[in-house]
Structure 1
Amino acid sequence: MKRVFVILLLTSIVICCKNPKKDSIIQGKVENEQIAVVSKIPGKIIKIMVKEGDFVKKGDTLAILDIPEVDAKKSQAEGALISAKAQYTMAVKGATSNQILQLEAKKQGLKEQYEFAQKSIKRLSNMLKDSLVSQQTYDETFAKYQGAQAQYNAVIAELDDAKKGGRIEQQNMALGQQERAIGALEEVETANKERYIIAPQDMSIETITLNLGELALPGYTLFNGFISDGTYFRFTIPESKLNKIKKGQQITVSVPFTDKSIKGHVTTIKQLGAYGTIATAYPDYEMQESLFEVKIAPNNNSETKDLITKTTVTLSL
């Protein structure tokens, strides 16, 4: 009887050792591509638009920051732009309409004086030939004629400058100041937009790190979440089984807690650098073997929408 029992025990051990099904089952995990939303400028949180567990679309507002410094700088930039535009307009247009009218009137008066002096010098020139006036009288009249001519030419030049505007150098300088003011205002408006924390893409909100009234610093993560359609399966494969799988291979993953199978394809095979990243719950491998991470993406993302991150999945090789 004892001998029969030993034989049966040995037979059971051999059968168990030869069972390929147990050795071919590899456990893995459901994973999701993570995303972090950070603030770009410092500000106090005055409103949070979402809660943990929400699904948001790209462009949705997640939170609003209070940034007093930006409001103050915006008022300064708007005032500087108004001033710069006025300076440039004045440099281009030159004198005002009233100043133009005054110069036109001045030109008309000097023109009459110049024409009168011109007539006078012609009369005196003829009289000087006939010795009807002295040379001194003629010289005095000629000097007045030259003065009237100079004043008339000067007012013409002044009126022309007033109509054309300032020198080209002055116009360029004023234009540069205007462009600088526009740039400063655009910079402030860009910073003002950063008060709104926007979802960079479709995602689910998993963690909100700050509360109302707390200060968000630049680069600080405000929201953690998972990317929509970013679900994949991760397995740890020993080197001895690496020949059974290759990149692009169509493969079926079993999900025990939902009792269904999902078809997918292998996207990545890479060596693991640390044992802390092993995905298999009970890895069956020799210590001297290298381990490899295998990522499998589902062929149809809609089949993974109800899966929970870090739950166990299995793979038959």
Structure 2
Amino acid sequence: MRKATVPLIIVVIIIVAAIVFIETYKKEETGVLVISGRVEADEVMLASEIPGRLIKINIDDGVSVKKNDIVALLDSRELRANKEEILKKIKSYRARIRAAETNLKHLKKEVEHQIEQAQKLLSIAESRKSQIKKDLRLKRQKYKRYSELFAKGVIPKDRYEEIELAYRTAVDELKVAQAEVERARTAVKNAIDSRLKIKAGEDEIKALRASLDAMKETLRIIEVRLSHTVIRSPVDGIVLKKTAETGEVVNPGGVVGIVVDPESIHVKTYLPEPYLGRIRLNDRVEVVTDSFPDRPIEGYICFISDKAEFTPREVQSREERVKQVFETKVCFDKEKPIKILKKGMPVDVRIPVGSQKSG
């Protein structure tokens, strides 16, 4: 019995060795390295920029979206009411500014006219005063001479009194003329001072315009926030996950969905160190999925890490875990849409390998 067992063990060893030899020979014959990997892609968050309540969501898991497609809507009623209110205020302030500008224009004309008229009256008053002073000087001289003649009894009293009355009247007229000049000067000063009303009018318009500018800025902010009530997709892609529902309240940055950018789809795998010298960037490879094993997808090596690491933990055997590998990425031609690859899908990467390649 013992003798029969030994030949059986030998037969089993020979069979196993033959299988290993055949598989090894096949691998070398085909010259293809098969390593496992996983599909990865860049995720784009469809997020709200403002707080608000969702009133509509236009996406579901797995649907395609185009750049600028509307994916969700926030309640905008309050913002629209605020916009209407600020528009009314802007309209009112514009009307006030137009009225103030019209009043200021008229005020300027009126003030300048008043100044011009006051200066003319002052000129007339000063001219009249100057003439009266000349007359007074002559009448004073005449009065002085006639006073001496009257004192000597050369002229009669009535003639003297006539000359005296003319002189006294000229003195009174000069006082009146002087008063008129003072009043005219006061009128000119008041007219010039009324220019302060112009300054006040200009200041009022500046204040109104400043308020109008502030309202316009408020309107701009409201319009920006209104635009943010429409959440759009920033890229073409496929919705990986819908994360919010109609009626929910979202905060700024709140995500309503996650989109995968198809152009960023790639396979992440790990290249065993012994094959590092046989594979280069841009080498063509095939990616095979479990779902469609008969539909290999052509890609190319787009990244090989220059830093070695140990095999990821999901490799089960300890012997495999202690082997060093290099992170490698497989990319795909963008002009060839890759529809069967989904983020997170496990795949096999078939890499043609030959003899050691020279650098």
**Does TM, normalized by the shorter one, top 0.5?**
yes
Quickly name the TM-score band, shorter chain normalised.
0.7 to 0.9
What residue ranges of structure 2 are gaps of 5+ in the alignment?
140-166, 354-359
State the partner residue of 2:282: 249
1:90 Cα deviation after fit: 7.1
> Aligned partners of 2:263 and 2:183: how far apart in 1?
89
What residue ranges of structure 1 are gaps of 5+ in the alignment?
none
Residue identity opposite 1:259 in structure 2: D
Determine if contact 1:250/1:263 at 8 Å carries over to the other structure: no
State TM-score, norm by structure 2: 0.70
State the partner residue of 1:218: 252
1:265 to 275, 296, 300: 300
Instruction: Look up the SS of the partner of 1:122 in the other structure.
Output: helix
Q: Identity of counterpart residues, as a percentage?
A: 20
1:73 Cα deviation after fit: 4.2
Residue identity opposite 1:182 in structure 2: K
1:14 Cα deviation after fit: 2.0
> Aligned partners of 2:279 and 2:317: how far apart in 1?
17
For structure 1, which segment, 102-111 or 206-215, has the greater mean C-alpha deviation from structure 2 after superposition?
102-111
State TM-score, norm by structure 1: 0.78
1:95 to 94, 103, 118: 103
CA offsets 1:39-96 (integer angstroms, 9 cap, x no match): 11111111223333321211111111014553354345445545665676677x4734
> Aligned partners of 2:310 and 2:179: how far apart in 1?
102
**Pair 1:254–1:204, CA change in 2 (3 A):** closer
Determine if contact 1:39/1:222 at 8 Å carries over to the other structure: yes
> Aligned partners of 1:78 and 1:208: how far apart in 2?
37
For structure 1, which segment, 106-115 or 35-44, has the greater mean C-alpha deviation from structure 2 after superposition?
106-115
The answer on 1:117 being equivalent to 2:125 is yes
The answer on 1:47 being equivalent to 2:56 is yes
Larger radius of gyration: 2
1:147 to 183, 192, 201: 183
In the alignment of these two chains, the number of paired residues is 310
State the partner residue of 1:166: 202
Instruction: Look up the SS of the partner of 1:17 in the other structure.
Output: helix
Larger helix proportion, structure 1 or 2?
A: 2
> Aligned partners of 2:259 and 2:293: how far apart in 1?
23
- Equivalent residues in 2 for 1:177-196, closer than 5 Å: 177-196=211-230
The answer on 1:56 being equivalent to 2:38 is no
Determine if contact 1:254/1:314 at 8 Å carries over to the other structure: yes
**Pair 1:314–1:97, CA change in 2 (3 A):** closer
Residue identity opposite 1:260 in structure 2: R
**Pair 1:294–1:65, CA change in 2 (3 A):** same
- Equivalent residues in 2 for 1:74-89, closer than 5 Å: 74-75=83-84, 77-78=86-87, 81-82=90-91
Residue identity opposite 2:35 in structure 1: I
Determine if contact 1:95/1:163 at 8 Å carries over to the other structure: no
**Pair 1:96–1:303, CA change in 2 (3 A):** closer
